[in-house]
Amino acid sequence: MKKNKKIVYVGLSADILHQGHINILKTAYKLGEVTVGLLTDQAIASYKKIPHLNFKQREIVLINMKFVSKVIPQNTLDYRPNLKLLKPDYVVHGDDWKTGIQKKTRLQVIKTLKQWGGKLVEPKYTQNISSTLIKKNILKVGTSPDKRKSKLKRILEAKEVVRVLESHSALVGLIIENLKVVKNQKYLEFDAMWSSSLTDSALRGKPDNQSVDYSSRILGLNEILDVTTKPIIFDADNGGRLEHLPYMIKSLERIGVSAVIIEDKIGLKKNSLFENQSGALQDTVKGFCQKISKAKETKISDDFMIIARIESFILGNGLGDALKRAEAYSKSGADAILIHSKENNPSQIFSFAKKFRKSKYFKPLVAVPSSYSKTYEKDLIKNGFRIIIYANHMMRASYPAMVEVAKSILRNKRSYDSEKKISSIKEVINLIK
C-alpha cells in the first residue's frame, strides 16, 4: 500500500492497452492511489464500436497492473457520477481531449473538481498510437467467422438498438463498414448488414420468389464477407423444406453469419409488401415450431441467432394470432421475434409489442420499417424494438441514380454532364484500396 493516500481517478476504455495508457497510469501512480473508472461495454458502444474485450476481461487486465489499486465501472461517458462518489484529489487524462468530441466532458470534469479543490492533470498525448489506430490496422487483416458471428449478440447486449442496413454487394458492404456520422457529439453508424432475398433477386433481375437459390446467394455473400467485419443477418424466407434447413444453417454458421430470419409463410414465395397476398399461406404453429427446433438443434454455437418472422398481419390473421405464434415460437427456441406489417403506420406492431412485452416468453423484437418509414427509431425503441432493419434502401437508392445517369449520357451524347451526379473515380478507389 502506498503511503501517499491521495485519490487519483483515471477514466479508461482500455480495450487494447498500449504505451499511451501506460504513460497515463504511470503519471497517475506517482500522484497517489489509482482508481480506474473502466467504461462499461454499454458506455463504449454509445460512441463507437463495441470493445474487442468485454468489461470483465478488461477489468482483469487492469486490476493486475501494479499502477492500479481499484477498478470501478464508469457507466456513461460522463465522469461526474464517479467523481462525486470518490471526490478524487486528481483526475489524469491525456491532453488530446482539449479539442474534439470530448471537449465538453473535459469542461464538466474541471467544474466538478473545483467543488472540493481537485485538480486535472493532463500528460502530453502519446502521438501515433491509439486504440482506434490499432483496431483500424486489425481490421485491415480482417476477422474470423467465429469472431464475426459473436458480434451481433454482443452489440445487442451493449446497445439499446442495433441498426442494420441492407447490403447486396461487396461495395455496399464497404460503405456500411466505413460510414460514420457525427450528431450531438456522438458517432452514429450501422452495426450490422442485412442480406435480403429481395435485393439478391433484384440484383440478378429475377422476382422475389426464391428463384435464386441459397447456394447462389451464399456465393455472393462471401464477396461481402471478404471485405467487411460487421455482423450479417441472413434473410432465409421460409427456410425451405424442413429436411433441407440444417444444410443452410450449417453453411451460414460456417462462414460467420450471426443470425438467420425465417418467416412462417409456406408455399411459393410472394413478397410480403405486395398488396395482393391471395394464395399466400401461413404455416401451422406446430409446423413452424418444428422448423425453429430443427434450426436450434442444428446450430453449433450459442452466438448464432434464430429469429422468427411472423406474417399474421400481412395475411390478415390479426393480433391474437400473432401473439399466439410469438409465444409458441419463443418457447420453441427463437432468439428474437420479427413482427411484420405493410401498413403505413406502426400501430399494428406497437399493439403487438405492448401485449407481447407482458408475456413471460418475451424475446427481443425486430422491426423492418419499410412501409411505416415515417416512424422514428426512438419510437420503435420506446415500444421494445431492439433491432431495426432497413431492408432494401441501398438497392432502391442505386436504381434511380443509375437510370438518371444513363439518360444523361444518352441525351448529351457524352458522360461529362453526369459527373456531378456520381462519385469520382478517386472516391471509389479510396473506398476499395
Of 106, 132, 158, which one is at a domain's C-terminal end? 132
Residue 2 inside a domain? The answer is no
Q: What is the pLDDT of residues 210-246, one digit of tens each?
A: 788 888 899 889 999 999 999 999 999 999 999 999 9
* Burial of 296: CB neighbours in 10 Å, binned 0-12, 13-18, 19+: middle
pTM of the predicted protein model: 0.84
Q: What are phi and psi of 70, to 5 degrees?
A: -150, 150
Residue 371 inside a domain? The answer is yes
Residue 137 inside a domain? The answer is no
8 A C-beta contact, residue 299 and residue 328 = no
Distance CA 83, CA 20 (A): 23
**Residue 169 sits in the same domain as residue 113:** no
Instruction: Share the mean pLDDT of the chain.
Output: 91
8 A C-beta contact, residue 189 and residue 181 = yes
Query: Average of pLDDT values for 357-368?
Result: 96
Active site residue 95: no
**Residue 354 sits in the same domain as residue 408:** no
**Residue 270 sits in the same domain as residue 386:** yes
Catalytic residue, chosen from 41, 200, 208, 283, is 208
Of 76, 105, 132, which one is at a domain's C-terminal end? 132
Q: What are phi and psi of 432, to 5 degrees?
A: -100, 0
SS3 readout for the chain: CCCCCCEEEEEECCCCCCHHHHHHHHHHHHHCEEEEEEECHHHHHCCCCCCCCCHHHHHHHHHCCCCCCEEEEECCCCCHHHHHHHCCCEEECCHHHHCHHHHHHHHHHHHHHCCCCCEEECCCCCCCCCHHHHHHHHHHHCCCHHHHHHHHHHHHHHCCCEEEEECCCHHHHHHHHHCCEEECCEEECCCEEEECHHHHHHHCCCCCCCCCCHHHHHHHHHHHHHHCCCCEEEECCCCCCCCCHHHHHHHHHHHCCCEEEEECEECCCCCCCCCCCCCCEECCHHHHHHHHHHHHHHCCCCCCEEEEEECCCCCCCHHHHHHHHHHHHHHCCCCEEEECCCCCCCHHHHHHHHHHCCCCCCCCEEECCCCCCCCCHHHHHHCCEEEEEECCHHHHHHHHHHHHHHHHHHHHCCCHHHHHHCCCHHHHHHHHC
pLDDT band for 1, please (50, 70, 90 cuts).
very low
Residue 273 inside a domain? The answer is yes
Residue 1 inside a domain? The answer is no
Residue 322 inside a domain? The answer is yes
CATH code at position 163: 3.20.20.60
The count of domains in the chain is 3
**Residue 171 sits in the same domain as residue 319:** yes
Residue 220 inside a domain? The answer is yes
Q: Which of 189, 323, 339 minimizes the C-alpha distance to 261?
A: 339
Angle at 189 between CA 138 and CA 237, to 5 degrees: 95
Range of weakest confidence among 21-25, 84-88, 139-143, 359-363: 139-143
Query: Average of pLDDT values for 111-119?
Result: 96
**Residue 363 sits in the same domain as residue 421:** no
**Residue 229 sits in the same domain as residue 266:** yes
Q: What is the pLDDT of residues 250-303, one digit of tens each?
A: 999 999 999 999 999 997 666 766 665 556 799 999 999 999 999 999 999 999
Using the predicted structure, report yes or no on whether residue 136 has a pLDDT greater than 50: yes
Using the predicted structure, report yes or no on whether residue 65 has a pLDDT greater than 50: yes
Q: What is the pLDDT of residues 366-398, one digit of tens each?
A: 999 999 999 999 999 999 999 999 999 999 999
Non-local CB neighbours of 378 within 8 Å, separated by 6+ positions: none
**Residue 339 sits in the same domain as residue 418:** no
**Residue 128 sits in the same domain as residue 157:** no
Distance CA 50, CA 275 (A): 40
Distance CA 178, CA 191 (A): 11
**Residue 370 sits in the same domain as residue 401:** no
**Residue 233 sits in the same domain as residue 278:** yes
Using the predicted structure, report yes or no on whether residue 138 has a pLDDT greater than 60: no
8 A C-beta contact, residue 250 and residue 302 = no
Residue 303 cell numbers, joined:
452466438
Q: Given phi > 0 = left and psi -120 to 50 = alpha, else beta, which region is 256?
A: left
Q: Which residues constitute the domain of residue 308?
A: 142-391
Burial 216-252 (b: 16+ CB within 10 A, else e): ebbebbeebbeebbbbbbbbbbbbbeeeebeebbeeb
**Residue 414 sits in the same domain as residue 346:** no
CATH code at position 117: 3.40.50.620
Q: What is the pLDDT of residues 327-338, one digit of tens each?
A: 999 999 999 999
Residue 3 cell numbers, joined:
503511503
Residue 28 inside a domain? The answer is yes
Of 72, 97, 132, which one is at a domain's C-terminal end? 132
**Residue 191 sits in the same domain as residue 319:** yes
Distance CA 337, CA 334 (A): 7
8 A C-beta contact, residue 170 and residue 52 = no
CA dihedral sign, ordered 41, 42, 45, 47 = negative
